[in-house]
Structure 1
């Protein structure tokens, strides 16, 4: 399947030292704080947030040698350090190289191919990791060696733990650094034994827990009943009722049938077939199908899915004619993930449940749990949910 060239921006690993590629990520997150997300940014506009590790100051207020904590790699001599680039106010491109083996006229094509190798969400997370690590090194006045030595990674993991960054976020940040090192053909010290053990220890001390709860079938019916009160008109109520029901029985991710700023394609009108006995639709791609091989989902008519068939047929009867996104508003504009989540949150609150544990992914969790409780074979559930590993078991919440 042909795909349009991605318009996302990325930092080329082949940018010249001291220059910035026109394709750069914008990281608007503050340096690691005591929140569990641990997202870090090195842009001066986002330095308002600070974390308390011996009164950590943002990079914009720190100068060389004025760190509030002593450098963790004091053994490194300033005479033996070869800096890749002097720290900028943003403290970002400390790893730029310009391999001589890349033909100048082909560099834009190399950049396009590399930027397409990972999803935009992954690339954004990787950039946050690079920004976080750069901010950490500037904070403790560490030499900007590239590749970074093992002891810098050891201290970096300890720092992330001290400011309450979760294991999953720390692992993602190190993956971003590892990706850049491997792309540039450098020694990847994130794979060192002690670094792996530090991550394992962090996982044991701060295990990640998915607090999202499953939406059950009775709860789903309550949510649907609340929509006429919460939506602006009957069309909108029918639209969201169909989307909520399909997400539950189709074990769908919200990104598979809505649009977002980072994803222009979604479930199309031509991809869906509704008959009296079956609903069938084709997903062009998904989070775990980055190459867009596609998958066909089938939902048979029975006593439990009859309400889904009713809402889908009702929606198709009033939906604006023409191609385009399957779920769209009366003016033809597609249903966005933000709108889907906003109406879901209002519905959950309306029926008196905790909005902090019921999210858009609760439909997928609830659908998988529902099938499991009905006694559907596990292999069939994996097939319906398009799981290729044992990740399915993390979705079963009894």
Structure 2
């Protein structure tokens, strides 16, 4: 320890004073290399030298006298110098566990805002929040809450990032609750996003976790039970809408929505209101003439940046019913801006209302309501295009697929 007053003792790095006899014996002792410093004396010297001082350790440059330092500064400590695989400081003290570099060596995970200037913190948070949609952020939070509930139930320590054994147990827990493989992967994606956002070690990518998910898929193969709605079935459902709808306006609106979802291969979130954060087909985005229908999709599952896509449906004997019902709907629709599909009171058609009415129509004509869902229009539309000889690239373009995933929609 350095003191402001004049030192009365020698530096701890000073060589020990030896008698002439000790110096004579030391001259004949074997040379000890730097990598042998931490080894026991019995392994580095003869037994006859065990009682003598250990071999000298090269010492760092002389530490400046305290008098030359600012008296108001904190006490300085010698800077260790690397010698081989160790340091001089390690050779003089007991060596403790050294944590790995990076996030894996952190004792406690820190939030992504740690170290951020207060004046910029709000901007950092807003940028990170904008990186994912509101629906995705809400879903991720749901997955994280599920994981935390699981850890509390099984008395796991609520550390973050979670260790591998907790994630392994969580996957087994999901499997025992008959969760599908796809859903399990979604749950882990929410956990992974939070870990990576906070700069922690993402144990959801561990080898054991990946293998468990593979086993999950083998034991529970993914099966899409949703069946396609054919054009013939579509005509049949539309014909009975006046019997299950409240009035003529509702029947006309739903028949137009049914046909448009089929021929434009629409996802339900693209034309029925789900939330204030999801763009929906609006009145100004829809145009129709005698030859074609054009609609502009502001954003979708594969268009998170909302660049938008324009779709066109040309008139044909198969699409004639769509043109007829669309003209009828526009003739009675309230002259208001906003969502294209709206009720007589101008309130938007919601996802819940659409799926409920579809359930009634499917049940009315005697079909299985468990296999015909809102996505059945998209599956049926893709299958219809394929059966009409439309090329794969055109089907991908019309359905706004970025990969060959459309092949799973072809149900002949």
Classify 1:98/1:233 alpha carbon distance in 2 versus 1 (closer, same or farther; 3 Å).
Answer: closer
Offset at 1:83?
9.2
Q: Distance in 2 between matches of 1:263 and 1:100?
A: 29
What does residue range 118-137 of structure 1 map to in structure 2 within 5 Å? 118-137=132-151
1:185-244 CA-to-partner distances (Å, cap 9, x unmatched) read 111111111111111111111122111111000100011101111112111111111111
Partner of residue 114, structure 1: 128
Classify 1:390/1:98 alpha carbon distance in 2 versus 1 (closer, same or farther; 3 Å).
Answer: closer
Contact 1:160 1:170 in 2 (8 A): yes
What is the aligned counterpart of 2:223 among 197, 209, 218?
A: 209
Partner of residue 285, structure 1: 299
Offset at 1:306?
0.7
Contact 2:135 2:277 in 1 (8 A): no
Question: TM-score, normalised on structure 2?
Answer: 0.71
Q: Distance in 2 between matches of 1:338 and 1:160?
A: 27
2:302 is the counterpart of 1:300: no
Offset at 1:138?
2.0
**Higher RCO structure (Cα 8 Å, ≥6 apart):** 1
2:229 is the counterpart of 1:228: no
Q: Distance in 2 between matches of 1:96 and 1:336?
A: 41
Partner of residue 359, structure 1: 373
Contact 2:112 2:199 in 1 (8 A): no
Q: Distance in 1 between matches of 2:313 and 2:399?
A: 12
Q: Distance in 2 between matches of 1:198 and 1:262?
A: 38
Q: Distance in 2 between matches of 1:264 and 1:149?
A: 35
Instruction: Decide which structure has the larger Cα Rg and report it.
Output: 2
What is the aligned counterpart of 2:182 among 150, 161, 168?
A: 168
1:86-105 CA-to-partner distances (Å, cap 9, x unmatched) read xxxxxxxxx77364321223
Offset at 1:391?
1.0
Partner of residue 325, structure 1: 339
Q: Distance in 2 between matches of 1:267 and 1:163?
A: 38
Contact 1:273 1:279 in 2 (8 A): yes
Partner of residue 152, structure 1: 166
SS in 2 for 1:164: coil
User: Larger deviation: 157-166 or 308-317?
Assistant: 157-166
Partner of residue 186, structure 1: 200
Contact 1:167 1:203 in 2 (8 A): yes
What does residue range 1-398 of structure 1 map to in structure 2 within 5 Å? 97=111, 99-261=113-275, 263=277, 265-398=279-412
Contact 2:336 2:346 in 1 (8 A): no
1:105-124 CA-to-partner distances (Å, cap 9, x unmatched) read 33333222222212233223
Question: TM-score, normalised on structure 1?
Answer: 0.74
Classify 1:100/1:119 alpha carbon distance in 2 versus 1 (closer, same or farther; 3 Å).
Answer: closer
Offset at 1:327?
1.2
Offset at 1:262?
5.0
SS in 1 for 2:313: strand
Classify 1:360/1:215 alpha carbon distance in 2 versus 1 (closer, same or farther; 3 Å).
Answer: same
1:264-306 CA-to-partner distances (Å, cap 9, x unmatched) read 6411111111010000110101111111010000000011001
Contact 1:319 1:330 in 2 (8 A): yes
Contact 1:83 1:143 in 2 (8 A): no
User: Larger deviation: 224-233 or 132-141?
Assistant: 132-141
Classify 1:165/1:388 alpha carbon distance in 2 versus 1 (closer, same or farther; 3 Å).
Answer: same
Offset at 1:154?
1.7
Classify 1:83/1:355 alpha carbon distance in 2 versus 1 (closer, same or farther; 3 Å).
Answer: farther
Q: Distance in 2 between matches of 1:327 and 1:381?
A: 25
Contact 1:149 1:189 in 2 (8 A): yes
Offset at 1:343?
1.1
Q: Distance in 2 between matches of 1:264 and 1:158?
A: 34
SS in 1 for 2:311: strand
Q: Distance in 2 between matches of 1:244 and 1:126?
A: 31
Classify 1:386/1:199 alpha carbon distance in 2 versus 1 (closer, same or farther; 3 Å).
Answer: same
Q: How many residues align?
A: 307
1:357-378 CA-to-partner distances (Å, cap 9, x unmatched) read 1111110000001111122111
Structure 1 portions without partners, runs of 5+: 1-81, 85-94
Classify 1:341/1:163 alpha carbon distance in 2 versus 1 (closer, same or farther; 3 Å).
Answer: closer
